[in-house]
Amino acid sequence: MLGFGRTEISPLPKLTTRCVFVHDQGNARKIGLVELQKIILYYGFTPVADPEAVKLWQKTLCESLGLKGRILISKHGINGTLGGDMSALKKYVRQTKEYPGFKKIDFKWSEGTGNDFPRLRVRVRPELVAFNAPDEVQVDINGVVGGGTHLKPAQVDALVAERGDEVVFFDGRNAFEAKIGKFKNAIIPDVQTSHDFIRDIESGKYDDIKDKPIVTYCTGGIRCEILSAIMIKRGFKEVYQIDGGIVRYGESQGDESLWEGSLYVFDDRLNIDFTDKAKTIGECATCGEATSKFRNCANLGCRDLVLLCDACAAKPENLECQPTHTRGRKREAVG
Decide if 98 contacts 148 (C-beta within 8 A): no
The residue type found at 209 is I
Q: How far apart are CA 168 and CA 191, in angstroms?
A: 18
For the question of residue 218 being annotated catalytic, the response is yes
**Cβ neighbours of residue 280 under 8 Å, at least 6 residues apart?**
180, 261, 262, 290, 291, 292
Residue in 218, 224, 284, 309 annotated catalytic: 218
**Cβ neighbours of residue 128 under 8 Å, at least 6 residues apart?**
43, 45, 72, 74, 76, 77, 78, 79, 222, 226
Classify residue 239 by burial, with Cβ atoms within 10 Å: 0-12, 13-18, 19+.
Answer: buried
| Residues recognised as catalytic | 218
